A = this chain, B = another copy of it.
Amino acid sequence: MFMRIDHVGIACHDLEEKIAFFERTFDLTVVARETNEEQGVKEAMLHIADGEGGGSYIQLLEPLGPDTPVGKFLAKRGEGVHHVAFGVPDVAEAMREIGGRGVRVLDAEPRHGTLGSSIAFLHPKDMGGVLTELVQAPDTGDAAPGH
């Protein structure tokens, strides 16, 4: 079901400062920057590797305001890992399977994620305290799990 660790999402106060830090310290490259008004974040993807069905990234997240989910996370926990995302071949199918096994899926339908992906979140209380994201990369909808 999981093909790769797609990304680790890290909440931060200053996106540009953290991008510069990761670039100069680890020679990483930003491959996308987006503002997601729906989720209340500015974000950047730093490329780590290519994998089955998609890539692996560090995702940096800066909240658009204090009343956003990431803003509240920062106020409560400080900077750190906000969520972990796993690549799946078909996010709608994964949502059905996982939901049928007793884990609450937070989205009724897949929604738009970074880099043109389709995503859904799983309830952290059902996932050992880990906010977990399922990611289907663009153009992999027809890929079989063994692709």
Contacts and interface: CB of A to CB of B under 8 A. Distances in A.
Interface of A: 1-5, 7-8, 10, 12, 18, 21, 24-28, 48-49, 51-52, 56, 77-81, 84, 86, 98, 101-103, 124, 128-130
Given A24-B101, A25-B98, A4 B128 contact: no
A49 B79 contact: no
* Copy count, this protein chain: 2
Could you tell me the dominant secondary structure of chain A's interface residues?
Answer: mixed
Contact of A129 (B21, B24, B49, B78): B78
Given A80-B130, A128-B79, A28 B2 contact: yes
B51 A26 contact: no
Contacts of A81: 80-81, 84, 129-130
Given A8-B8, A56-B5, A84-B81, A25 B128 contact: no
A98 B84 CA distance: 24
B128 A5 contact: no
